[in-house]
Amino acid sequence: MYFYSLKNNSIIKNQPLGPRIPITFNSMPFYLFQDNCYFSSASLSDIEYQIDPENFTLFPVMRIDYGNKTFPFKAKDYQDYDKSSSYAFPSERFQNNKFYFIYTTCHFQLYFTIYDKQTKTVRTCRNFSNKKAFPQIKYLTNDVMYFISNVENIQYTIDERLLSEDDQDRLSKLKEDDNPIIVKAYFWVYS
């Protein structure tokens, strides 16, 4: 990771993050949460870092352990990474005050990992309990998740039974060539 000064037009510091793997699952390596900037490598990595802009350093804040599915990131030779489809690879990450949300790839399938910060428990699943797919989060707050869905995929991410009659009516009138839909979903916890 290079820290670059626009003012000085130069590299201020280089902080190595370990061996790089020549593939990537993470299209959004940076995100903000509570005025802090977080980084997870664009190449495969199981560690998330917080950036200290004052000292130009990174420090690890989160590591997800998938047990026997955890990729051996400390290994020296990554030549067989493409043969390792049985490993879990964390990619894009988000968080709010209660949870970390991590998209995870394993067996060439996309999973959603939820880490509860209070109970320190981890759940990894493919779908919601109503069999709807986890959407690709674009923005997250403590109570709301925003995501974008194409019209042809909306049936896989929205449970129409949870919509008001007006929203159900709007959904039924969508056409295949309509623009993508911004969906606002509220978090709720049940026991």
Residue 121, domain member (yes or no): no
Q: Is 184 exposed, middle or buried (0-12, 13-18, 19+ CB in 10 A)?
A: exposed
pLDDT for 80: 53
What is the rounded distance in angstroms from the CA atom of residue 127 to the CA atom of residue 135?
Answer: 9
Query: Is 83 domain-assigned?
Result: no
Q: What is the pLDDT of residues 154-163, one digit of tens each?
A: 888 788 888 8
Model pLDDT for residues 15-31, shown as the tens digit of each residue: 766 555 444 555 677 77
pTM of the model: 0.66
Please give the pLDDT value at position 165. Answer: 93
Residue with tokens 């403590």: 142
Alpha helices in the chain (DSSP H): 154-157, 165-172
Q: Cα separation of 123 and 173, whole Å? A: 36
In a domain, 158, yes or no: yes
Cβ atoms of 38 and 49 within 8 Å: the answer is yes
Per DSSP, which regions of the chain are E strands? Answer: 2-5, 10-14, 30-33, 36-39, 47-52, 57-63, 89-95, 99-106, 109-116, 121-125, 137-140, 144-149, 181-186
| Domain housing 151 | 131-191
Q: pLDDT of 126-139, one tens digit each?
A: 776 667 666 777 77
Asked if the structure places residue 185 within a domain, the reply is yes
44-60: string of b/e by CB count within 10 Å (b at 16+)? Answer: bbbbbbebeeeebebee
- Residue 129 carries which side chain, given as an amino acid letter? S
The residue-averaged pLDDT of 165-184 equals 89
In whole numbers, what is the pLDDT of the chain averaged over residues?
A: 77
Whether 97 is covered by a domain: the verdict is no
Residue 89 lies in a domain: no
User: What is the 8-class DSSP label of residue 69?
Assistant: G
Note the pLDDT tens digit of each residue in 3-13. 777 888 888 87
Q: How far out from the chain centre does Cα 129 lie?
A: 19
pLDDT tens by residue, 34-93 = 888 888 765 566 778 888 888 888 888 888 777 787 776 665 445 555 555 677 777 778
Q: Is residue 39 part of a domain?
A: no
182 belongs to a structural domain? yes
Tens digit of each residue's pLDDT (9 = 90 or more) over 91-118: 778 888 888 888 887 777 778 888 888 8
Q: What is the number of domains present in the chain?
A: 1
CB distance 50 to 38 below 8 Å: yes
